[in-house]
Structure formats: structure tokens, C-alpha cells
Amino acid sequence: MRTKMINKLSNKFLRSFIITLSLAGLLLNSCDSRPLDKKETVENDSSHDLPLRPNIVWLVAEDLGPYIAPFGDSTASTPNLNLLAAEGVIYTHTFSPSGVCAPSRAAIATGMYPSSIGANHMRTRSDSEATGVPPYESIPPPEVRMVSEILRINGYYCTNNAKEDYQFDAPVTAWDESGRYAHWRNRPKDQPFFAVFNFNQTHESGLFEPYGFKNSEKRHYQSGDRYYEIQPGQMAEEETPNHVSKDANFPIPPYLPHTETVRRDLWKMYNNIAEMDLQIGAVLKQLEDDGLLENTIIFFYGDHGGPLPRQKRLIYDSGLNTPLIIRFPGEQNPGQKNSQLLSFVDFAPTLLSLAGIKPPEYMQGQAFLGEHRAKQERKYIYGAADRFDEVTDAIRAVRGNRFKYIRNYRPEQGYYLPLAYRERIPTMQELLKMRDEGELDSIQQLWFRGKKDPEELFDCKNDPHELKNLAGDPTYADHLEELREEMDRWIVEIGDQPNLPEKELLEQLWSGHDTKPQTSEPQVTSSQGKITIECATEGASIGYKVIGTERVEPGGWTVYQKPFEVKQGSRLMVVADRIGFEPSEIIQIETTETH
């Protein structure tokens, strides 16, 4: 039996009221929820022949650098990802715009750079005591929608299982389902779908002691005769499935010491990768069992770079570069490697392009596949680092195919900033102990310098760990000037404000008010048996549910696009919501006939 997830409204929605509305006459327009042009066929770039309105699945691992065999690292056993890569295309130069999850996920969800929409500070709804800033959410411009909502408007069934974490609450119109049991199998028969599955086995917290997973909050997948459990959290080592030998020859990057503690954390990391691969296999098996592989485009990627110290949160390649594999129906270009530069801001426009939908002009990324593929590949990718939990910095980066330029807006601060969450990793504790005892070598000590160079330039081809700053070397002056000018151009183009105090950012987002803005109450009218809904808040999305006489409430909210009919005796529920705002109250309307 299929389990249908019922979207539950949070407490901010609980107050509602009932209106009796007569269905007798109509006039009015929609509230900023106009559908994009929808096409039934997808005219692709020359390398891919796609089916009509393909299904699209995103398989998302957390905190994952290129530590899998298709990207040159066979330490962990990943047969499912190996097969996906053998049947798909391997994209070697994919980068997140931030070295941490929530800003990166904001970029994926909107096609916008986090520092252009107020999503650049990690954990904007916590650490208020340390920052002096009340909890807040990112507020993009009013035209911005989550890409899943755009797909829903164009006829796709959209599910997310289960992490969101976009630096804002997803509007109620974003997903048909979002939760542990969200699945394409819950959709109406034959409706095309976009389904996201998030895998947290590889998260940084998997390195903590004790590490692993809790027995609570389980998600389940059936793969053949094996029953898998996805369990976020931690569990003792003796309970952990052992996929990788502790005696393996782990590749230790030069910025980490060769100690037993580091090797043990690397065992955890690779073991978690192998466990994640099993869960990936379970979802792939479900697609196969459902006969969907040949009508589904499958993306596999991480939400940013690796989980280890001097990886996560930093904007070196170790923090931004993540594997991307895309399998196309018919196994087109199997095993091919593609080295073009890709950014997470490109994912939303590419998703729409693959579905035959023209990406909105506001998106700052560009499609790299599909009908609306950009005519030219991107020349640069960009990164930013601002606040992470309780510590604040201001760093920007631009990278071309070979060289990366980093600008440190707070050179007076050290490279390493103490962060309580990261210091739960045994390797981080080991590094601090060895630093204090003078046992780190010159390379490992680089991260602990008390001041930063105002500018840094790295040759990412010959110095992949970004250890030698070339900014002062006249041999590379032309590369330095090129990337310096490109950073200046990009910052102006996206409206970034590096080093802007967070309090001032909040004043801008809230238009000088002291509280989070509220979405206006939707206005509902009827005419000639049709319902029209409007909302005074610019950029608000409107969701509605029609509850028939049997009084069974639908699970998800329908995105309002144009006037619609409701049957006599039905109940109508309406809510308006804008990203970063408080949603409106829910209006409940009992419909009756006029005599």
C-alpha cells in the first residue's frame, strides 16, 4: 500500500477562519502565479535525445568531495555509483557557491547566488546571542520562485525526501510532498515527476564520537530482498556496518597529519560513503522496478565539498568541488567525462531546460543541458564565505579552469576561526593539540596563521590543495589582474555586499522594520461559479485546497494560476506565502449556491 504523505502546517498557520461564499459571478486576475509556457516536447542539444517531459531524480549526498571511484578514488566500495557513472556522464568540475549546505541549497533551489539574496550567512535563525541579530530568513526579489514550484506550475509532481535547509522556509506551494515518505510513487498515474532524495550518511557529524546514526527518525527503502534503513544521527562504532577495512591505505591530504586519529576519521568518512552507496542503489532499484529508467534523468551530486577540517566551510576546492554524475535515458554518452565549469546556480535553469521550460530571466545561472542550453560554457565559477554558526568572516573567490583568486576582506583575522561544531571532529581536536604543542609541519601550520593575505592566487592544476599563494609572484600578474577584475564585475552584477554587517543586511531585507514581514491575507472572490484569488504582497505565491463533501483534505497545496470552479458544498482553503516572509493566515471558505 502506498503511504501518502500529508503536509502538516506549522503553528504559524494554525489560526484560520471560515467564510461563507456565494458562487454567483466572476471577475479578477491571479496573484503573481502566472504559469510559464509549457511545451510537450524537448528539443535538446545535439548530444542528448530525451523523451517527452522526462522524469528527473536528484540523489544528493551531504558533505561529499570527489572521493568515489568515478572521480579517481577507489578507497570506498561504491558499485551503484560506479554503475551510474558507467552509464552516465561524469562532470569533474562542479562547484558549490559556499562550503556549507544551507547557502548552497539556497542556490540550488532558486538559481541565485546566496550572497545576492541574503542567504550567505549559515544558520540565520540561530546564534542570535553571538551575532546580536534576531532570527531571519533570506528574502529574494519578489519574482523569485523555488524551481520546484515552477515545475509544479508546468505539470510536474514534485517531491523532496527529506532535507530542505535553504536559509528560508519552503513556501507551501514548493512541493507536492516534502518529508520522509515523499516519493514519486504517490503521484497521480503517469504524471511526470521531479523527485529529490537526500542522503545524510556522509554528513560531517558522521565523524563525531560516537558516530553514525540514531535509531530514531528512520527512512526506509526496499531494494530487492534487502531492507535498508536511513538513520540520521549517531551510533556507536560497534553497531556500524563495516564496509571499508580500517587497515586501508587512506589518502591523507598534506594539510592533515599522518596520525591514527586522522586515519580513523578517514575510515569513518569512506565507510559512510560506502553505506550511502547502498542507499543510492535502493532508489535506483525502485526506478528500475517501476519501469522508469528509460524516461528518467538521474543526477547524483554532493551539496558541497568534503567534511574534514580545512574542507567544509572553506572556499578552497576541497570545500566547493563535489562530484556530479548525470545518467540520461538510453545510457547516452556512457562513461564520458566532461570538464566544463559548472556552478550550483546552473542546476535550476538546467532542470527547467531539460523539462522544456524556458528559465526565468532573473536566474543568475545558465542551463548546461536541454532545449535552453546556454550558447557558451561558463568561464568562471564563484564562491563566498561569510558567517558560519557563531563565527564571521568575509571572503570571495573566483576560479577559472586553472587559477583561483581569493579576496580576504578581513585579513586581520586568522585563517582558522574556532567553531564549536567542527571541533567535535576528532581530527580537528588532534590538529589543535598538535598546533599547541608545535608538532604541525609547515604545510599543516598554514591554516593556523594569525592573519590572512589580502589576496591569494592558486594554480589549481599544479597545486590542487591550494597551498602556495602566487599573488605576489610577478610571473602570474596577468592571471591575478584578470581574476581580480572578474571578481569586481561579478560582485556588482549580482549586487553582493562583501563584509556588510549582518545587522545592516537584516535592515535591508526587512525594509527597516523590526520584525519579519508578513504575507498579506489572500482575497477570494467568486463570479459565475468560478473562484479568483488575489494577494497584495508582491511576489506572493498562493496555494489552495478544495475539500469535497466527503471532507477529505488533500495532502499538498495546489499552486493558484487562474480562476477555477468548485463544486457546491465544497470547502476551500487558501494561503499566501512569499519566501522569507511569514505566511498569511489560512482562509477557509464554505461554498454555497445562491437561490
Task: Tell me whether strands 89-91 and 324-327 are parallel, antiparallel or unpaired.
Answer: antiparallel
β-strand pairing of 571-577 with 541-547? antiparallel
Whole-number Å distance between alpha carbons of 24 and 568: 11
Residue spans of beta strands (DSSP E) within 256-402: 296-302, 324-327, 336-338, 342-343, 381-388, 391-399
**What's residue 21's pLDDT?**
45
Strands 324-327 and 55-61: unpaired
pLDDT mean for each 10 residues of the chain (595 residues): 29 35 35 35 42 91 98 97 98 98 98 98 89 94 98 98 95 97 96 97 90 42 37 51 89 98 96 95 97 96 98 98 96 93 98 97 98 97 97 97 98 96 96 98 98 98 98 98 98 97 96 96 92 97 94 93 93 97 96 59
With the C-alpha atoms ordered 26, 31, 34, 35, is the resulting torsion angle positive or negative?
negative
**Of 463, 455, 462, 499, nearest to 481 (Cα)?**
455
Integer angstrom CA distances of residue 434 from 314, 342, 448: 21, 37, 11
Rounded to whole angstroms, how far apart are CA atoms 520 and 531? 18
DSSP 75-120: SS--HHHHHHHHHSEEES-EE-SSSSHHHHHHHHHHSS-GGGTT--
| Fold topology of 55-378 | Alkaline Phosphatase, subunit A (3.40.720)
Instruction: Respond yes or no: is residue 101 known to be catalytic.
Output: yes
385-509 CATH: 3.30.1120
Whether 119 and 138 have beta carbons less than 8 Å apart is answered as: yes
pLDDT number for residue 481: 98
Run of H or E residues at 490: helix 477-494
Q: In the chain, what are the domain boundaries?
A: 11-31+522-592, 55-378, 385-509
Rounded Cα–Cα distance for residues 293 and 309 (Å): 38
Please state, in angstroms and rounded to a whole number, the distance separating the CA atoms of residues 566 and 122.
Answer: 43
Q: Which of 101, 158, 460, 535 is catalytic?
A: 101
pTM of the predicted protein model:
0.89
Note the pLDDT of residue 16. 35
Query: Grid coordinates representing 269?
Result: 568518512
Question: What distance in Å separates the CA atoms of residue 542 and residue 31, rounded to the nearest whole number?
Answer: 7
Q: Residue 503's Cα: distance from chain center in Å?
A: 25
User: What is the spatial distance between Cα 212 and Cα 208, in angstroms, rounded to a whole number?
Assistant: 8
In angstroms, how far is the first alpha carbon of the chain from the final one?
44
Please, what sign has the CA dihedral across residues 48, 49, 54, 57? negative
Instruction: Please tell me the chain's helix, strand, coil percentages from 3-state DSSP, rounded to the nearest 5.
Output: 25, 20, 55
**DSSP element (H, E) containing 489:** helix 477-494
Residues 374, 483: Cα–Cα separation, whole Å: 22
pLDDT of residue 331: 85
